[in-house]
Amino acid sequence: MATPPVKVYGPPLSTAVSRVLVCLLEKDVPFQLVPVNMAKMEHKKPDYVKMQPFGQVPAFQDDDITLFESRAICRYLAEKYPNKGTAGLFGTNPLVKASIDQWLEAESQSFNPPSSVLTFQLFFAPLMKLKQDEALIKQNEAKLEKVLDVYENRLGSSRYLAGDEFTLADLSHLPNTQFLVEKTDKAELFTSRKNVGRWWSEISTRPAWKKVVEMQNA
């Protein structure tokens, strides 16, 4: 009997869900995407909260293992399937892993906060018919510019953030950047920076991410 695929709960449009999906596709791991109707508050129902105690998406199941933080899920997949699909997503030795981890932390702590605010304010708020907060947009655009200046310098001497190979450090930036470049008027934040623009062009055209974008647009 075939081993059941891992299950990912949540909509592909969610940035955290799409982060997990692209990792699964990079690793060529079969999976089942389980819809969660957030408009109907399905993510707050008791059975779901047992898997995801914060009542958010994604939730992730692999046999009897349940995880809920997207970056932790990606680390788990890269460690469990080191030689399947794209190899080396989380490195092959302690030093490389540390380099990947520090850029994952930079993404989580420095890049994600302002880019998430901008993604919500510029893309999701209009869809939800919510008023945009112009002061918040301006404040977080300035924060993101400072982060991207650091990236511009780093990517001047390195093909990818953690070195010369595509890793989770790059992959984790895909969801928010996709929205900002393709769905808002802030693409220049990335494309006006030579090295960041080159990096984004490379990582955003990977087949796994293009497949996730197709899922989002379906």
143-192: per-residue pLDDT in tens?
Answer: 999 999 999 999 999 999 999 999 999 999 999 999 999 999 999 999 99
**Residue 78 token pair:** 């890269």
Domain boundaries along the sequence of the chain: 6-81, 94-210
What fold, for 94-210? Answer: Glutathione S-transferase Yfyf (Class Pi); Chain A, domain 2 (1.20.1050)
pLDDT in tens, 55-88: 999 999 998 899 999 999 999 999 999 999 999 9
pLDDT band at 2 (very low <50, low <70, confident <90, very high): low
β partners of residue 170: none
Instruction: Tell me if the bond preceding 46 is cis, omega within 30° of 0.
Output: no
Contact 123, 15 (CB under 8 A): no
pLDDT in tens, 77-122: 999 999 999 999 999 999 999 999 999 999 999 999 999 999 999 9
Question: Residue 10: is its pLDDT beyond 70?
Answer: yes
Query: Looking at residue 4, what is its pLDDT?
Result: 66
- Averaged confidence pLDDT in the chain: 95
Query: Looking at residue 3, what is its pLDDT?
Result: 62
Q: Superfamily assignment of 6-81 in CATH?
A: Glutaredoxin (3.40.30.10)
Contact 160, 174 (CB under 8 A): no
Q: Whole-model pTM above 0.75?
A: yes
pLDDT band at 1 (very low <50, low <70, confident <90, very high): very low
β partners of residue 59: 9
Contacts of 91 (CB under 8 A, 6+ apart): 97, 99, 100, 162, 167
